[in-house]
């Protein structure tokens, strides 16, 4: 039996723009994505000789009944695609996911797990897939998976399949707030088709500020065209932004199609102080830094 332990970092959308609708029905996106230290951890055992087993639990070891532990789980699907693509026989696989990334948050929790399984299996099997085919396999699994395989900071285009790594040395500090409700991604895309955004991201300007370590001006450049649509559906998103700004965030924004909102802080101490003062209500609150 071969085993490996892999981390599955969450992602934040520092920018998200929709450029149009493609002939294949997907939306053409332009995003700046950032992997962060909030992560699931995954233990993979291959060649177990038994039937496929997948366990999803919280860090205290409690099962998570809302997350499917069968072929509907993206980690399971990623493993199937890996064995199909490589032709390596599946001689028994056990996957244990310790989940810290909240689901239905826009933090790519499921995609991060799928990407970690693809990376982990590829490493366990002696790297049969080079980065490009591994990324293409990820795209078959889900739009955010190619970025999650690469991690770090990246400009992501297409429906998520075109990932260009971006060098960003200064570490960024975030507080992530996840309200108890989720937001329908399909509803946001549908609303975006008939809505012209009042403001669109300037990703290059944001990158210039981040590279200079200028969190104050970077905060003003965060932009997600989904956010005004989400605020219309759930005014609580706007209230969480206000709360983060009142706690000293340089900028605050919803990630992806929500419902999590993050604040960008000037340093770890400011972020950790804000994190403590925002905890205690119905929202889940996390400190995270860029990885």
Task: Cite the active site residues.
Answer: 11, 144
Does 104 bind ligand ATP (CB under 6 A)? Our answer is yes
Site residues (CB under 6 A) for ligand ATP, limited to 79-98: 97
The kind and range of the H/E element at 40 are strand 27-46
- Residue 116 exposed, middle or buried by CB count within 10 Å (0-12, 13-18, 19+): buried
As measured in angstroms, the least distance from the Cβ of 25 to ligand ATP is 17
Binding segment (CB under 6 A) for ligand ATP, from list 108-116, 127-135, 212-220, 232-240: 108-116
Q: Is 151 in the site for ligand ATP (CB under 6 A)?
A: no
Position among 105, 134, 137, 240 found at the interface with ligand ATP (CB under 6 A)? 105
- Work out how close the CB of 107 gets to ligand ATP at its nearest, in angstroms, rounded to a whole number: 5
Does 39 sit near ligand ATP (CB under 6 A)? no
Phi, psi (degrees; rounded to nearest 5) at 185: -60, -40
242/261 Cα distance (integer angstroms): 11
Pairing of strands 284-289, 173-178: antiparallel
Query: In terms of CB distance, is 185 or 277 closer to ligand ATP?
Result: 185
75 binds ligand ATP (CB under 6 A): yes
Q: Are 8 and 41 in contact (CB under 8 A)?
A: yes
Provide the phi-psi class of 141: left if phi over 0, else alpha when psi is between -120 and 50, else beta.
alpha
Q: What share of the chain is helix, strand, coil (3-state, %, to 5)?
A: 35, 30, 35
Does residue 67 touch ligand ATP according to CB under 6 A? yes
Q: Applying CB under 6 A, which of residues 94, 113, 201, 274 lies at the interface with ligand ATP? A: 113
> Which residues of the shown chain bind ligand ATP in the complex (CB under 6 A)?
67-68, 72-75, 97, 103-111, 113, 144, 185, 256-257
């Amino acid at each position: 039996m071969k085993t490996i332990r892999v981390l599955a970092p969450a992602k934040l959308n520092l920018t998200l723009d929709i450029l149009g609708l493609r002939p294949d029905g997907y939306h053409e996106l332009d995003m700046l994505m950032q992997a962060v230290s909030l992560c699931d951890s995954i233990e993979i055992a291959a060649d177990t000789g038994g039937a496929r087993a997948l366990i999803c639990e919280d860090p205290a070891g409690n099962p998570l009944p809302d997350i499917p532990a069968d072929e509907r789980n993206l980690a399971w699907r990623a493993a199937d695609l890996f064995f199909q693509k490589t032709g390596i026989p599946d001689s028994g696989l056990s996957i244990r996911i310790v989940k810290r990334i909240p689901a239905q948050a826009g933090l790519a929790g499921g995609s991060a797990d799928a990407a970690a399984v693809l990376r982990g299996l590829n490493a366990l099997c002696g790297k049969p897939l080079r980065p490009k085919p591994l990324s293409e396999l990820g795209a078959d699994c889900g739009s955010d998976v190619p970025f999650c395989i690469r991690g770090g900071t990246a400009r992501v285009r297409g429906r998520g399949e075109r990932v260009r790594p971006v060098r960003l040395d200064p570490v960024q500090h975030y507080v992530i707030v996840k309200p108890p409700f989720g937001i329908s991604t399909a509803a946001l895309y549908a609303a975006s088709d008939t809505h012209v955004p009042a403001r669109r991201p300037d990703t290059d300007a944001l990158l210039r500020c981040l590279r200079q370590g200028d969190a104050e001006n970077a905060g003003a450049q965060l932009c997600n065209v989904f956010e005004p649509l989400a605020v219309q559906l759930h005014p609580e998103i706007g209230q969480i932004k206000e709360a983060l700004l009142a706690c000293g965030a340089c900028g605050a924004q919803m990630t992806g199609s929500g419902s999590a909102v993050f604040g960008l802080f000037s340093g770890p101490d400011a972020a950790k102080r804000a994190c403590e003062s925002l905890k205690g209500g119905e929202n889940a609150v996390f400190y995270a830094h860029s990885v």
